[in-house]
Amino acid sequence: MTEKKNSSGSQSIYRIWVIGIGVCILVFFIFEAYVLRMHEKTKGPTPPLWGNFQRVRDILTNAPRKEKFSFAVAGDRQGVGIYPRIVEELRKRPVDFIVMLGDAFTGSSEDHQYFRAQLADEFALPFPGLHIIGNHEVKNMSISRFEELYGPTIFSFEYQDCLFIGLRSIGDSLSDRGSLDFLKSLLEKESKNYRKTFVFLHIPPPVPFCDNQKFTAPEEFISLFDRLNVDYVFAGHYHGYGRTHYGDTTYIISGGAGAHLDDDKIPQFYHAVVIEVGPDHVSERIIQIPEQLDIPNKLKKFAIAEAYPCFRQYRTVVYIINILLLVILLISIRYLLIKKKARKGEGNIQ
């Protein structure tokens, strides 16, 4: 009787092990399917409302007249979990468009793939999004490739009798020269009196508070902004928030959309800034985002930026492992079915 019980107990333990192994194999297969699904999201086209393309800017230029309007700025998205929550907040507000102030992804191609996947769903917004190029974007991507994916890096458009200017400021004197030449061309041809003029770039010029950077945009930007009567300049690069008034221009640094915060001067925080423009006012509202653990997005980034590249690099090994695991899974299922049938037969005899 004791031997029978011991035999029955051993079989139960063995059965638990078999079930456990089978479950682990199934989880692995599910994770593989998840990784492949996330990778597919990286291959889609740029969303129709994202980028600096003429068609996106025309949506704004041709929009109906409004008494007041709002737009958002946020820079330096690197990291996990902050920018999706910024997007959630902006969906609740009457925002007309958003400007990403550069460094939306790091220099690695894997992080760019992660950004592309999020752009397809988590970052999708019901209004246009403009994308300023940053120094991190060009670490492993040419300017021409960026422009192919996200539109021109130097541009302008009109919206509600205001002028908006997007510039390329990435710490490279040759590339930055294109922005300076563009501003000079605007001085030569612009004769319209705009209600307000707004400028967006990544690396700010050396105005107070911005001059502590490792490198800044050329000082010539400042004099050109003055001559163009620029009201606001928005920049990223510094991972935090800053605001200063220099000459007749207000400079706002908004680089708290997810990258590790710089806190060498004052405590910093994750945020975006919403600007409201009315008939006789411009107001600023900071949307502060508390830091918290975001497991779904961490898993998504791991799947896209780490797991898929590993699967791709060791493709043959992964195929062999899949075949072996499938064989083990089928043997485990067959074992359980045989044992179940045997127990059923014993029950009938009794």
Q: What is residue 213's predicted lDDT score, i.e. its pLDDT?
A: 55
Q: Which H helix or E strand runs over 158?
A: strand 155-159
Spatial distance between the Cα atoms of 78 and 322, rounded to a whole number of angstroms: 34
Question: Cα 164–168–169 angle (5° rounding)?
Answer: 115
For the chain, the C-alpha Rg in angstroms (whole number) is 28
Q: What is residue 34's predicted lDDT score, i.e. its pLDDT?
A: 85
Contact 232, 252 (CB under 8 A): yes
Spatial distance between the Cα atoms of 277 and 266, rounded to a whole number of angstroms: 28
Spatial distance between the Cα atoms of 156 and 163, rounded to a whole number of angstroms: 7
Q: Taking the CA atoms of 121, 123, 128 and 129 in sequence, report the sign of the dihedral they define.
A: negative
Residues 6+ apart with CB under 8 A from 262: 238, 239, 240, 255, 268
Spatial distance between the Cα atoms of 154 and 138, rounded to a whole number of angstroms: 15
The tens digit of pLDDT for each residue in 44-65 reads 778 889 999 999 999 999 999 9
DSSP annotation of 50 = B
How far CA 291 is from CA of 46, 220, 281, in Å, comes to 28, 37, 32
Classify 350 as helix, strand or coil: coil
Spatial distance between the Cα atoms of 79 and 4, rounded to a whole number of angstroms: 59
For 210-323, where are the E strands, in sequence order? 232-235, 241-246, 249-254, 270-277, 282-289
Per-residue confidence in pLDDT tens, the chain, 350 aa: 455 445 555 556 767 777 777 788 888 888 888 888 888 877 777 888 999 999 999 999 999 999 999 999 999 988 888 898 999 999 999 999 999 999 998 878 888 888 888 887 777 788 999 999 999 999 888 999 999 999 999 999 999 999 999 999 998 888 889 999 999 999 887 667 899 999 999 999 988 765 555 557 778 899 999 999 999 999 999 888 989 998 889 999 999 998 888 766 666 899 999 999 998 899 999 999 988 877 888 888 888 888 888 888 888 888 888 888 888 778 777 766 776 665 555 555 55
Q: What is residue 212's predicted lDDT score, i.e. its pLDDT?
A: 54
Spatial distance between the Cα atoms of 200 and 164, rounded to a whole number of angstroms: 8
Provide the pairing of β-strand 282-289 with 270-277: antiparallel
Spatial distance between the Cα atoms of 196 and 349, rounded to a whole number of angstroms: 91
Q: What is residue 144's predicted lDDT score, i.e. its pLDDT?
A: 94
Tokens of 223: 């004099």
Q: What is residue 73's predicted lDDT score, i.e. its pLDDT?
A: 97
Spatial distance between the Cα atoms of 244 and 222, rounded to a whole number of angstroms: 13
Spatial distance between the Cα atoms of 272 and 61, rounded to a whole number of angstroms: 24
Burial of 320 (0-12, 13-18, 19+ CB in 10 A): exposed
